[in-house]
């Protein structure tokens, strides 16, 4: 029996580790914005980052917007310089803006609602790829270097003449060192940002590894309970061994919970600042539980339930023995 259990655990760990390292997602090399409606049909989005002339990536003028759109060099967006923040598109060498428009004319269900205007627009600000800087076809290392270097940004919206229409609040490019800005839903008319962050590969691999051990721990707790049922003789043995085994199997679950709370904290801080919004925290917690799925939620409940069961059994045993000693002394 023990031999088969050891083989199962080793096989599960090996398969899980192979899955972890083969399934890691790569970082995007662009900041993707999504807009609804027609408001952004003739407007453009930009990142304002802390940048000066001494920066190795700085250039006096860079305008690379899809559609060969030229923004005047004397325009507001090009000359913007407040609190050290400047335009990424206009002053970072080889940065570019890609535009994707889904026209409601080609989607009958949306044509009447949007009166033939674009109903979904995506704009992507690409992190520049410098030939020879990194041997990285996905440009991941440059993306990480960019985020770690500039740390914070604001989002600006400007028109074809380079006039700035609005500027958002400041948001981090990287939060708590392990979560990087990627997709941004932007309610432009109300100037409300909803940034989304991707966790670093290291944190993702660690979470998946702990999740694997949590799964093995749940199976271990169930096996411990089955062994208890087979060997059940309540008044002749102690339950301390079962308590120790169940406690050890609960350790991965405790680590997983802590890591996920750290993840929620990082995302909430990124969205709401140092003074975290409590409502946002609980909303993110609920979203995280949905993402984890029912299996990952049930596992810790099973483990804790089995541990509590053995603790209760031990207390009952101690109480029984105490009463038995009293009756013998009478």
Lowest mean pLDDT among 2-11, 136-145, 179-188, 310-319: 2-11
* Higher pLDDT, residue 78 or 212: 78
Query: What confidence score (pLDDT) does residue 55 get?
Result: 94
Kindly tell me if the per-residue pLDDT of 307 is higher than 70: yes
Examine the fold and report which residue of 129, 164, 199 is the final residue of a domain before the chain moves on. Answer: 199
Domain of residue 306, residue span: 202-329
Examine the fold and report which residue of 171, 199, 227 is the final residue of a domain before the chain moves on. Answer: 199
Mean pLDDT, the chain, rounded, equals 79
Answer yes or no: is 19 within a domain: no
- Indicate if 47 and 181 belong to the same structural domain: yes
Reported as a pLDDT band with limits 50, 70 and 90, residue 329 is low
- Indicate if 168 and 57 belong to the same structural domain: yes
pLDDT, tens only, 7-22: 545 555 555 554 444 4
- Indicate if 287 and 261 belong to the same structural domain: yes
3-state secondary structure the chain: CHHHHHHHHHHHHHHHHHHHHHCCCCCCCEEEEEEECCCCCCEEEEEEEECCCCCCCECCCCCCECCCECCCCCCHHHHCCECCEEEHHHHECCCEEEEEEEEHHHCHHHHHHHCCCEEEEEEEEECCCCCCCCCCCCCHHHHHHHHHHHCEEEEEEEECCCCEEEECCCEECEECCCEEEEEEEEECCCCEEEEEEEECHHHHHHHHHHHHHHHHHHHHHHHHHHHHHHCCCCCCCCCHHHHHHHHHHHHHHHHHHHHHHHHHHHHHHHHHCCCCCHHHHHHHHHHHHHHHHHHHHHHHHHHHHHHHHHHHHHHHHHHHHHHHHHHHHC
pLDDT, tens only, 246-297: 898 888 888 887 887 787 777 777 766 654 456 655 666 666 665 555 556 7
- Indicate if 181 and 108 belong to the same structural domain: yes
Examine the fold and report which residue of 158, 175, 199 is the final residue of a domain before the chain moves on. Answer: 199
Number of domains in the chain: 2
- Indicate if 162 and 230 belong to the same structural domain: no
The arithmetic mean of pLDDT across residues 195-207, rounded, is 84
pLDDT, tens only, 81-94: 999 999 999 999 99
- Indicate if 190 and 235 belong to the same structural domain: no
Answer yes or no: is 21 within a domain: no
């Amino acid at each position: 029996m023990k031999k088969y259990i050891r083989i199962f655990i080793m096989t599960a760990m090996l398969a899980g580790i192979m899955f972890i390292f083969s399934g890691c997602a790569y970082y995007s090399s662009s900041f993707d914005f999504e807009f609804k409606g027609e408001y952004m049909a003739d407007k453009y989005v930009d990142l304002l980052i802390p940048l000066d002339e001494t920066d190795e990536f700085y250039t006096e003028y860079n305008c690379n917007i899809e559609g060969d759109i030229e923004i005047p060099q004397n325009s507001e967006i090009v000359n913007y310089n407040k609190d050290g923040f400047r335009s990424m598109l206009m002053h970072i060498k080889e940065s570019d803006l890609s535009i994707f428009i889904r026209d409601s004319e080609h989607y009958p269900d949306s044509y009447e609602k949007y009166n033939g205007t674009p109903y979904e627009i995506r704009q992507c600000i690409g992190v520049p790829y410098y030939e020879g800087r990194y041997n990285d076809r996905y440009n991941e290392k440059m993306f990480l270097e960019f985020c770690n270097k500039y740390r914070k940004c604001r989002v600006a919206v400007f028109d074809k003449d380079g006039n700035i229409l609005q500027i958002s609040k400041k948001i981090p490019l990287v939060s708590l060192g392990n979560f990087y800005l990627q997709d941004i839903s932007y309610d432009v008319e109300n100037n409300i940002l909803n940034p989304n962050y991707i966790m670093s590969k290291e944190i993702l691999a660690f979470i998946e590894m702990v999740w694997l051990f949590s799964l093995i721990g749940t199976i271990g707790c169930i096996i411990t309970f089955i062994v208890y049922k087979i060997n059940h003789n309540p008044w002749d043995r102690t339950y301390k061994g079962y308590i120790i085994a169940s406690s050890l199997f609960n350790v991965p679950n405790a680590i997983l919970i802590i890591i996920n709370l750290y993840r929620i904290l990082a995302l909430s801080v990124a969205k709401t600042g140092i003074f975290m919004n409590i409502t946002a925290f609980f909303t993110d917690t609920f979203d995280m539980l949905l993402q984890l799925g029912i299996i990952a939620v049930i596992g810790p409940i099973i483990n804790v339930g089995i541990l509590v069961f053995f603790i209760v059994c031990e207390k009952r045993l101690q109480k029984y023995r105490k009463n038995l000693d009293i009756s013998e002394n009478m």
